[in-house]
């Protein structure tokens, strides 16, 4: 038991120590100073896209610091007003604007052959970006990403009180926190198109996400929240004819905290599928 405990401490200590080994660079886009960081060398880029209002490094630190692959660099960035990035004139932005902002960061750094790794709301940003700039994306890994059907199914299955809590959270994000509009993204998402056989991997949580209990949401509504989410993951698979699904049996929504190793394993497999699809010259 002591040996097992010591091993656990060693693993945790290694991850915590790794958190400090990154340095931000900055690029100014539309008057906003956006932070980004890259590790590794290569002409191909794994690009991490965080969820709504989330700091990219806090969302992906273990994946970022433990990723290693020949020919690839791994990069993360903070959207305006999030993490280390500034937001000169805060306002609510559409998902298309978020995708255009992402493209400006990509262009400024001349990142090529992108494999997007999108968490939560970042899935909408990845889809909008791929729709607008399909030639730049060679694959996507959806790490417990949102799909628009979740919103509709959740609304139908929750109690009035439970749905009011969700509406308040969504409105708070939009008006006070991230200035990102979840409902607008839900409305826009069905129009996003993909290259027919774009390699994608959909990774879904295996454990329920229960932080909504902190908002005093009932157990039945938390169950409805999770059931609608689980069902929506299979809708993501329909985005491409070249899609694979993986359930993260020991992870809840914050996948980098719970099982970054499985995400890394599936990312390496996705890279092999991309290479095999002859995307690269």
- In 173-223, the DSSP E strands lie at 200-205
Percent share of the chain, pLDDT over 70: 91
Tokens describing residue 244: 């694979």
Summarised one tens digit per residue, pLDDT across range 55-87 is 999 999 999 999 999 999 999 999 999 999 999
Q: Cβ(57)–Cβ(22) under 8 Å?
A: yes
SS3 179: coil
The alpha helices in 110-242, defined as continuous H runs, are 122-132, 148-157, 160-172, 182-188, 219-236
SS3 207: coil
**What local confidence, expressed as pLDDT, does residue 264 receive?**
98
User: 180 CB contacts (<8 Å, ≥6 apart)?
Assistant: 52, 53, 79, 92, 93, 95, 98, 121, 173, 174
**What local confidence, expressed as pLDDT, does residue 22 receive?**
84
At which residue do the structure tokens 């097992």 appear?
4
Q: Cβ(201)–Cβ(246) under 8 Å?
A: yes
**What local confidence, expressed as pLDDT, does residue 14 receive?**
44
User: 107 CB contacts (<8 Å, ≥6 apart)?
Assistant: none
What letter would DSSP give residue 136? G
**What local confidence, expressed as pLDDT, does residue 24 receive?**
95
Tokens describing residue 208: 């329920």
Q: Which domains does the chain have, with CATH numbers?
A: 21-276 (3.40.50.1820)
Q: What b/e string do you get for 59-75 counting C-beta neighbours within 10 Å, with b at 16 or more?
A: bbbbbbbbbebeebbbb
pTM > 0.85: yes or no: yes
Summarised one tens digit per residue, pLDDT across range 164-188 is 999 999 999 999 999 999 999 999 9
**What local confidence, expressed as pLDDT, does residue 11 receive?**
42
Range 84-89 contact pairs with CB under 8 angstroms and sequence separation of 24 or more: 84/24, 84/35, 84/55, 85/32, 85/33, 85/34, 85/35, 86/32, 86/33, 86/34, 87/32, 87/179, 88/31, 88/32, 89/31
Summarised one tens digit per residue, pLDDT across range 127-155 is 999 999 999 999 999 999 999 999 999 99
Tokens describing residue 217: 């949401």
Q: Which of 237, 243, 263, 217 is nearest to 147 (CA)?
A: 237
Sheet holding 243-248, edge to edge: 25-29, 32-40, 72-77, 44-49, 114-120, 137-145, 200-205, 243-248
CB hemisphere CA count around 6 (13 angstroms): 3
Average pLDDT score over the chain: 92
Give the phi and the psi of residue 25 in degrees, each rounded to 5.
-110, 165
Gap between the Cα atoms of 115 and 271, Å rounded: 8
């Amino acid at each position: 038991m002591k040996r097992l405990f010591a091993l656990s401490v060693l693993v945790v200590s290694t991850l915590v120590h790794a958190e400090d080994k990154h340095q931000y660079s900055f690029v100014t886009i539309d008057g906003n100073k956006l932070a980004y960081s890259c590790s590794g060398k290569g002409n191909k880029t794994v690009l991490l896209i965080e969820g709504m209002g989330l700091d990219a490094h806090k969302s992906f630190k273990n994946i970022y610091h433990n990723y290693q692959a020949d020919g690839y660099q791994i990069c993360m960035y903070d959207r305006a007003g999030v993490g280390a990035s500034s937001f000169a004139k805060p306002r609510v932005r559409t998902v298309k604007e978020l995708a255009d902002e992402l493209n400006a960061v990509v262009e400024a750094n001349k990142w090529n052959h992108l494999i997007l790794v999108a968490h939560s709301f970042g899935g909408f940003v990845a889809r909008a970006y791929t729709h607008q700039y399909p030639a730049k994306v060679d694959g996507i890994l959806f790490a417990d990403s949102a799909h628009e059907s979740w919103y509709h199914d959740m609304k139908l299955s929750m109690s009035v009180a439970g749905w009011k809590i969700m509406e308040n959270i969504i409105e708070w994000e939009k008006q006070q926190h991230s200035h990102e509009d979840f409902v607008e993204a839900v409305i826009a998402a069905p129009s996003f198109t993909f290259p027919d056989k774009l390699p994608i991997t959909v990774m879904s949580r295996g454990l329920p996400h229960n932080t909504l209990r902190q908002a005093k949401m009932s157990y039945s509504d938390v169950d409805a929240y999770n059931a609608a989410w689980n069902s929506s993951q299979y809708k993501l698979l329909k985005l491409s004819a070249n899609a694979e699904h993986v359930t993260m049996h020991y992870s809840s929504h914050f996948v980098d905290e719970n099982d970054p190793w499985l995400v890394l394993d599936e990312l390496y497999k996705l890279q092999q599928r991309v290479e095999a699809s002859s995307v690269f010259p």
